[in-house]
Structure 1
Amino acid sequence: MIRFIFIQNVLGKTRMAKYYVPYEDAEKHKIEYEVHRLVSSRNSKFANTVEYRTHKLVYRKYAGLYFTLCVDVDDNELACLELIHLFVEVLDHYFNYVKEIHLVYNFHKVFVILDELVLSGEPQETSKKVILERLRSFEKLE
């Protein structure tokens, strides 16, 4: 199960955070700081997973943004990396090469895309084509 998903820039500013388990606000800020410190300080030669408290972080850096999932220890790291990559591919296709500015000014669309991918902490849809078709139908409704 996915505990939370973050998109953070290299300076540690959280651009998107989605929690699937309840945390206090003070705890959320502490978690965001700790996760960025852990992920950004790791050498690129190491694997994209690291233990965090009683869970594990699976992360990937794309163009100055860290995409991080916190999952249970027994979850498959490769499946998590694939989910991150799918998320980035859908964002790239939707925004025509996603940049940090897209995340800031279109955060509501980013959350819609994420909700199409993950529901209640579990992967929901893994087809890029299906997700993009749903997004097009949402745009027609607007």
Structure 2
Amino acid sequence: MIDFMLLVSRQGKTRLSKWYSAVPLKDKARIIRDVTSLVLGRPQKQCNFIEWKDQKIVYKRYASLYFVACISKEENELITLEIIHLFVEVLDRYFGNVCELDIIFNFHKAYYILDELLIGGNLQEPSKKEILRVCNQQEDFMEETKEEMFVRPRNTTR
């Protein structure tokens, strides 16, 4: 099970964080700081797996973003790396060559995609097509809702 997922820029700014286990807010900030410094401080040629406390950190750098997942010691690192890659591929297809700015300005969509991919830290949907279909359906629904809100006059009788 994935305990948390982070997207961190090369400058150390957290762009996205999703927690699948209950952690107090103070501890979250400390953990993010510790994990970020641990990942950013490693040379590029080193392994993408880090033993950390009683868990493992699995990360992969794509362009200017580090995708970081924390898993229990029993979990398979390679499967987690594939889940990260699947998330990146879906983001890439959804945004059309995703970049850090897409995540910054459309963070709610990135969270939605991650929620379609993982539930409770476990892989829910392995199909890129299905994830994209549901996300596009959600996007269409949101557009229809916006149009209805602004086009139809409300009945304001007192």
Q: 1:6, CA displacement in angstroms?
A: 0.0
In structure 1, give the amino acid aligned to 2:2: I
- Give the % identical residues: 44
Q: Which residue of 2 aligns with 1:138?
A: 138
Residue 63, structure 1, aligned to residue 63, structure 2: yes
Distance 1:41 1:61 in 2: 13
Q: Which digits, 9 at most, give the CA deviation of each residue in 1:33-70, with x for residues without a partner?
A: 11111111112222100011110000000001000000
Report which of the two structures shows the higher radius of gyration computed on alpha carbons: 2
Unpaired runs of at least 5, structure 2: 143-158
| Cα distance in 2, alignment partners of residues 28 and 103 from structure 1 | 21
Which residue does the alignment assign to 1:49?
49
Number of residue equivalences: 142
Give me the TM-score of the superposition, normalised by structure 2. Answer: 0.87
Runs of 4 or more off by more than 2 Å in structure 1? none
Stretches of structure 1 that go unaligned for 5 or more consecutive residues are none
**Letter of the structure 2 residue corresponding to residue 115 of structure 1:** D
**Superposed counterparts of 1:71-110, under 5 Å:** 71-110=71-110
| Partner-residue secondary structure (3-state), 1:56 | strand
